[in-house]
């Protein structure tokens, strides 16, 4: 079994041709950087998924040879799951996979050989593998997971008690059940998103969150 360093193997710099950025990861207790919108989308998803124990960007550099030429390849992500399984993930747009097919074949072959020898799986993901609704939900809820706005324990208990009286209900209907005052509803809505973001209220994660989303305890 290989021990993969959780320090970035390759530094991510600014790129005028793609969207670079970073998030503060609660899961990793660290800053996670990304160098494309697609990588950023996956970062938010990994941060949200309950089966992911931890993840790391640019985790390791694999050396391999093409003929007599030494080459290097750094996968985009290492993911460790609570099940014990581990995975290296490369994130690429389908267009780039086609345009750079020849150059990528050697890199991916080296990654598969490395993973096969270390009981790790290797996967290439494209935009087709990333659910846009899950991306939206993950990004939206990240704003409430550790909100600077102080939560009200009484409001949290009131919302959960009200929701518990129903098998499932829409967000909008829950607010109507809790109050008839619009200002009060706005205050309660913040707490609803907070509870969802912290997994205390459930919903279908693959459907885009809205006021009509069905939620349950």
**Three-class SS state of 40:** helix
Residues 34, 123, single domain; the answer is: yes
CATH number of residue 38's parent domain: 3.40.1350.10
| Same-domain check for residues 66 and 155 | no
Among 107, 129, 151, the domain boundary falls at 129
Residue-wise pLDDT for 141-189, tens only, equals 999 998 888 999 999 999 999 999 999 999 999 999 999 999 999 999 9
Give, in order, the Cα–Cα distances in Å from 122 to each of 101, 111, 136, 150, 161: 17, 7, 26, 42, 44
Helix, strand or coil for residue 143?
A: helix
* CATH code of the domain covering residue 184: 1.10.10
For 44-78, the pLDDT digits (tens) are 999 999 999 999 999 999 999 999 999 999 999 99
Band (pLDDT 50/70/90 cuts) for residue 5 is low
| Residues 124, 147 within the same domain | no
CA distances from 187 to 36, 81, 86, 212, 217 (A): 35, 36, 41, 18, 20
Do 89 and 125 belong to one domain? yes
Q: How far apart are CA 55 and CA 39, in angstroms?
A: 13
Model pTM score:
0.89
As a whole number of angstroms, the distance between CA 141 and CA 213 comes to 14
**Strand, coil or helix: what is 47?**
helix
Q: Are residues 122 and 175 in the same domain?
A: no
> Is 79 inside any structural domain?
yes
Structural domain range at position 72 = 21-129
Residue where a domain terminates, one of 78, 107, 129: 129
Q: For all residues of the chain together, what is the average pLDDT?
A: 93
The predicted model gives 124-128 an average pLDDT of 98
One domain for residues 74 and 160: no
């Amino acid at each position: 079994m290989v021990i993969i360093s959780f320090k970035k193997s390759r530094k991510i710099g600014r790129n005028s041709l793609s969207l670079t950025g970073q998030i503060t990861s609660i899961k990793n207790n660290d800053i996670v950087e990304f160098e494309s919108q697609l990588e950023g989308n996956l970062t938010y998803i990994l941060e949200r998924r309950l089966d992911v124990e931890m993840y790391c960007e640019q985790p390791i550099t694999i050396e391999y040879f093409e003929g007599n030429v030494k080459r290097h390849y750094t996968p985009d992500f290492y993911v460790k799951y609570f099940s014990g399984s581990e995975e290296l993930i490369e994130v690429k747009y389908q267009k780039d996979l086609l345009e750079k097919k020849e150059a990528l074949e050697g890199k991916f072959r080296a990654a598969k050989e490395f993973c096969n020898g270390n009981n790790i799986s290797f996967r290439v993901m494209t935009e087709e593998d990333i659910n846009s609704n899950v991306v939206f939900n993950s990004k939206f809820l990240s704003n409430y997971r550790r909100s600077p706005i102080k939560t009200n324990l009484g409001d949290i208990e009131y919302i959960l008690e009200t929701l518990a009286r129903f098998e499932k209900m829409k967000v909008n209907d829950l607010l109507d059940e809790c109050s008839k005052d619009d200002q009060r509803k706005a205050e309660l809505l913040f707490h609803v998103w907070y509870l969802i973001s912290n997994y205390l209220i459930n919903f279908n994660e693959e459907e885009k969150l809205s006021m009509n989303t069905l939620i349950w305890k």
